[in-house]
Chain A
C-alpha cells in the first residue's frame, strides 16, 4: 500500500474575516498517495488556488492541518516552512514565473544551488531535466526569448529539479495554446510515471482533466466529488 503524501484535514480558509468574510475553502479533507496524478477542478472562485496554496505552505489556513510526508507544515515556523518547500515541494505557476534575468539552465539550477548541490551534480541534473522537457537546445535562452509553452516547460523542470515529494501546479496550461498544453501534460505525466513524483494540479481545462488519474472537484470551497479515472 502506497503511503499518504498529502493529508489535508478539515482545511478552511476565510478571507476578510473582519469585514465581509469570504469562505474560500471549507472543511476540506484530502488524502493523496505517493505517485498520484491528481487534477483539482472546479469553476473559477471554487477555491482551487487557495487549497493548493495552503497545501504548498504558501498560505496559512484559517483552520485545519496540512501534513506533507508526515510533517505537519501548518505548524512549521516561517523559515523552516520555506526550507521545507525548498526540499519537498515543486511549484508550477499559471504565468510561468521564471526569473527573467537567468537563462533556462540557471532558472532550473537555482533551486539546486539553494539546496547547495555541487556544481557537477547540478549541471548534470539540470541538463537531464531540460532534456526531459525537450529544451536541450534552449538552455542558454532567457525567459524573454522563449515561447509561453517553452517557459512553462522550464518551470516544470525547475519544479522537479530538487526531486520534490510533490509538485503543485496552479492552472499550468491556462496561458498555453492547446498544442503546448497537451505537450506539457504529456511531459508531466511522463515525469510522474518515471520519477514517481506526486502531481496535484488545478485546472478547468477539459483536455487536462482527461489526463489525470484522479479528479477532485471543488464547488464553493467544498469537495463535491473525488473520483478515480483512466487517463486518456
Chain B
C-alpha cells in the first residue's frame, strides 16, 4: 500500500508534480542534446580531419617530420603502395611529395607547404576535387597547374589563371623556382590550412626537387574500418620497416586537445543542468514534505516506521523520475534523430569555428550507451535530491507534527 500511497501522493498536487516531471524531461533532453551536439561537432571535425586532410595513417621517413626537408624520402614507393593496396583492409592509398617554400604573386609573397600529388589518388583519398570553388581540378593536362586556397588567393591578390612563382630548396639544398598558373581555387572547412597548403602535380614537383621517380615523402592510408587502424598500422610496419608510421591522433594532437576541452565543457554544462535539477527537486519535494507534516506525524503515530516514511518519499520522487526520464529520453532521441538528419546550421559562428576545422553544419549524434548514462545520471540525481526532504521528514516528532496547522 506504501507504493499506492506514494503514487497517489504525487497526483495530489498535479501542477507541482508536472513541474518536477517537466524539469526531469528538460534535464534529460538537455543532457542528450548537449552531448549529441558536442559529439556531432567533434565527430564532424574528426571526419573532416581524417577524410579531408590527414587520412587514418601516414608514413614518413623518420627524420622528415622533424626536419621538414624533402630529401628525407621513402624509397621504392611503387612497390610499397602496391603491397599496401593489395590489403583488403585498406580503402585507399596515396603518395605525396612535400616541400615548404614561398609563393609569390606580382604584389606579395607568402610561406606555403607544397604538396605534389597524384590528382586521381587524392580524389579518393581526401576528395580534394570537392573543395574546388573556382576553376577546375587539374583538368588542363598542363604540368604547371597549381591549386591554391581561397584565403591564400585573397592574400596574394590573385585570381584564376594568375601566374605565381614557387621558390624552395631541392634535395641538393639549392634554391629552385618554378612558375605555375592557378588552375583552381579551393575552400576547405579548415581556413587556416587553406592559407598554407597548395597542390601541384607530383611528377613536376619531383623533378624540381630532383627526387628519383621512386621516392616520395608521404604515404597516406585510409582504412575501411576505424577499428582496423591498429592492425593496419602493424601491417604497414612490416611493409615499410624504416618508416615512421603514425595515426591521425598522433599526427594531430591538437585535435585531441580540442576534443578533451569539449568533453570537459560538456561535462561541466551537464553538471550545471543536473545541479539545477537537483535544486528544483529538493525545493519541490521539501515543499511537499513540509505541507504534509501533520499527515506524516499521524503516519508515524499509527505505526509507520521511519524507514517506511523515508521509502515513501523516495518512492514519490522515483515515480516522478520514472515518468520524466523515459519522456526526456524519447524527446531527446527524437531531437537527435531529426537534427541528425537535417543538421544544425551554425553559420553565424562558422567563421571562427572554421579556423579550428569545424563545419558550419552540425549533425548531432549519440550512441545508445550515452543515452543510458544520461538517463541514469538524471535518475540518480533525482533520487539523491530526494534524500534531504526525506531526511527532513524523519526529523519530525509525531506529537509536534500532529499539532502543526
Q: Which residues of A contact B (CB under 8 A)?
A: 49, 53, 56, 58-59, 78-79, 82-83, 85-87, 91, 93, 95, 97, 99-102, 106, 109-111, 113-115, 158, 162
Contact = CB atoms under 8 A, between A and B. Distances in A.
Which of B8, B300, B303 has the most chain A CB within a 10 Å cutoff? Answer: B303
B8 A83 contact: no
Nearest to B11: A101
Nearest to B12: A101
B303 A82 contact: yes
Q: Which of B9, B12, B402 has the most A CB atoms < 10 Å from its CB? A: B402
Given A58-B402, A110-B1, A97 B303 contact: no
Contact of B1 (A49, A106, A162): A106
A93 B402 contact: yes
Across the A-B interface, the 9 shortest Cβ-Cβ residue pairs: A86-B303, A101-B8, A58-B399, A97-B298, A59-B399, A53-B399, A82-B305, A58-B398, A113-B1
22 contacts: A53-B399, A58-B397, A58-B399, A58-B402, A78-B306, A79-B305, A82-B303, A82-B306, A83-B305, A85-B301, A91-B302, A93-B402, A99-B298, A101-B12, A102-B8, A106-B1, A110-B1, A110-B302, A111-B302, A111-B303, A114-B302, A114-B304
Contacts of B403: 49
A100 B302 contact: no
Contacts of A91: 298, 301-302
Most buried by B among A109, A110, A111: A110
Given A58-B402, A59-B399, A102-B8, A85 B303 contact: yes
Interface string B274-299: 00000000000000000000110011
Interface in B1-58: 1, 4-5, 8-9, 12
Contacts of A93: 298, 301, 402
Contacts of B306: 78-79, 82
A82 B295 contact: no
Given A53-B399, A58-B398, A58-B399, A101 B5 contact: yes
Nearest to B6: A101
Contacts of B4: 102, 106
A162 B4 CA distance: 21
Contacts of B299: 99
Given A106-B1, A113-B1, A100 B303 contact: no
Contact of B300 (A82, A99, A113, A162): A82
Nearest to A114: B303
Interface of B: 1, 4-5, 8-9, 12, 294-295, 298-306, 397-399, 402-403
Nearest to A56: B301
Contacts of B398: 58
A162 B301 CA distance: 14
A82 B305 CA distance: 6
Given A83-B303, A85-B301, A91-B302, A59 B397 contact: yes
B8 A85 contact: no
B385 to A, nearest CB: 23
Contacts of A115: 303
A109 B1 CA distance: 10
B302 A101 contact: no
A58 B301 contact: yes
A97 B1 contact: no
A93 B304 CA distance: 16
A109 B4 CA distance: 13
Contacts of A101: 5, 8-9, 12
Contact of A97 (B9, B294, B305, B399): B294
A139 B297 CA distance: 24
A111 B1 CA distance: 10
Contacts of A97: 294-295, 298, 402
A87 B1 CA distance: 18
B402 to A, nearest CB: 6
Contacts of B294: 95, 97
B305 A100 contact: no
B198 to A, nearest CB: 76
A86 B305 CA distance: 9
Contacts of B8: 101-102
B302 A86 contact: yes
Given A53-B399, A110-B1, A100 B12 contact: yes
A101 B319 CA distance: 16
A60 B299 CA distance: 18
B296 to A, nearest CB: 10
A77 B303 CA distance: 14
A58 to B, nearest CB: 4
A95 B402 CA distance: 9
A157 to B, nearest CB: 12
Nearest to A82: B305
Of B12, B300, B301, B304, chain A has the most CB atoms within 10 Å of the CB of B301
